[in-house]
């Protein structure tokens, strides 16, 4: 099946943290996985009752402040996270390209 996993479900959270811009994007395979937000109760991807069309998106501004360790959501059947952030001076990654990172493991630290 050509292109079977070429379409993905995405949920993007962006904002700021102590050192500037921060963005976390949850990515789930289209039509086989789903993403459910636990901080926004009506947000769930890839569900039969939705009326969202392929290629469309909705944008909603959340004002809730999240703290370290807050539960944000649930992946059903696989996942990827894309994390983009402004790092402080002296930040060094401990994770290397291709590493498998588990929830709670540090990506690096400020030296």
SS (H, E, C) 33-96: CEEEECCCCCCECCCCCCCCCCCCCCCCCCCCCCCCCCCCEEEECCCEEEEEECCCCCEEECCC
- Calculate the alpha carbon distances from 71 to 38, 67, 104 in Å: 7, 9, 11
pLDDT tens, residue by residue, 48-102? 555 555 556 667 777 778 888 888 888 777 678 889 999 999 999 999 988 988 8
> Cα separation of 28 and 80, whole Å?
7
The residue with greater pLDDT, 60 or 18, is 18
**What pTM value is reported for the model?**
0.72
> Cα separation of 17 and 28, whole Å?
25
Give which of 83, 96, 90 is closest to 109, Cα–Cα.
90
């Amino acid at each position: 099946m050509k292109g079977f996993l070429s379409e993905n479900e995405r949920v993007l959270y962006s904002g700021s943290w102590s050192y500037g811009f921060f963005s976390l994007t949850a990515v789930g395979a289209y039509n086989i996985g789903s993403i459910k937000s636990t901080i926004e109760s009506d947000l769930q991807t890839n569900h039969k009752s939705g009326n969202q069309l392929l290629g469309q998106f909705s944008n909603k501004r959340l004002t809730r402040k999240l703290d370290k360790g807050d539960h944000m959501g649930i992946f059903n059947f696989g996942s990827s996270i894309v994390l983009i952030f402004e790092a402080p001076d002296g930040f060094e990654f401990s994770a290397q390209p291709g590493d498998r990172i588990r929830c709670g493991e540090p990506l690096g630290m400020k030296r």
